[in-house]
Amino acid sequence: MQIEDLLKALSCRWRIAIVKMVAQRPLCQCEIMGLLPIDKTNLSRHVKVLRMAGIIEDKVEGQTKRMYLKEPRALEIIALAEAISGDTVYVSEEEKQ
């Protein structure tokens, strides 16, 4: 993977939110759709970008495929970008307070 692929994967607010969510706990796509106002097609595209960049991975648990954070250092990149930009991607209302 090249550096621009990694940075491109983290260049979207939706993908940043997905990374932060799966860092808290493994989630299936239906759980993420319940937390973000995003349709299944767009979510699948974002997940594919993150998977191709090696940031998340899927694991099958019974009949459910859950997404896990494969590269926890991605959170450090996100935190640094948020600190430099002064902008934060929140994944819940509780985080905003």
Q: pLDDT, tens digit, for every residue of 14-52?
A: 999 999 999 999 999 999 999 999 999 999 999 999 999
* Unique residue bearing structure tokens 């994944």: 91
Which has the higher per-residue pLDDT, 83 or 61?
Answer: 83
Instruction: Classify residue 27 by its DSSP letter.
Output: B
For 3-92, which CATH class? mainly alpha
The alpha-helical segments, DSSP class H, found in the chain are: 3-9, 13-24, 29-35, 40-52, 73-85, 93-96
pTM: 0.91
Using a 10 angstrom Cβ sphere, with 0-12 exposed, 13-18 middle and 19 or more buried, the burial of residue 28 is middle
> Residue 91 — very low, low, confident or very high, per pLDDT cuts 50/70/90?
confident
The pair phi, psi for residue 67, each rounded to 5°, is -100, 135
Domains of the chain: which residue ranges?
Answer: 3-92
